[in-house]
Amino acid sequence: MHLLIVLLIVALDQISKYAAVKHLKAEKPYVLIKNFFQLEYIENYGAAFGILQNKRIFFILTTAIVIVGIIVIFVRYSSQFNKTMNIALSMLMGGTIGNFIDRIRLSYVIDFISVKIGNSYDFPVFNIADMFIVVGTFLIVIMVSFNRYRI
């Protein structure tokens, strides 16, 4: 089941990025909710919030280590984890692989989801993989913090 979740996340991420390239690249942002939510094609050569621009090798090595680490955790401990923990790890793995594919294939990550809060806050543009990485990580931190990750 975990592999299926990972594959679905990777597929959703890559299909959405393909659509972003096809429909948003070299176009003006597509506003869905004025001053709040729009679709905007961005090529991100860095990490979250645009940090560490053009550090491709660093990101590839770091991401490979994270993927191997998650695989080791799955192989050794998944039978001891509750369903929520295994889903959270699958979300983290799927999102990580989705962005890893971009970094290997393109040297950058395709971002296209833009959220703004009026004129006061412009959240960094992100993608589907990023959403799964953040939600998966958040769930893991909460479960580990409150010791709620075991069967």
Domain boundaries, the chain: 2-145
Question: Which residue matches tokens 């176009």?
Answer: 27
pLDDT at 50 over 70: no
- Is 66:100 a contact under the CB 8 Å cutoff? no
- Closest alpha carbon to 102 in 113, 111, 91, 89: 111
Mean local confidence (pLDDT), 117-144: 92
Could you list the active site residues? 111, 130
pLDDT at 49 over 70: no
Distance (Å, whole) CA 99 – CA 69: 16
Mean local confidence (pLDDT), 40-52: 82
Q: What is the pLDDT of residue 46?
A: 82
Burial track 37-66 (b if 16+ CB lie within 10 A, e otherwise): ebbbbbebbbbeeeeeeeebeebeeebeeb
Distance (Å, whole) CA 85 – CA 149: 6
Residue 84's pLDDT band (boundaries 50, 70, 90)?
A: very high
Mean local confidence (pLDDT), 126-132: 97
- Helical segments of the chain, H only: 2-24, 56-77, 83-106, 128-145
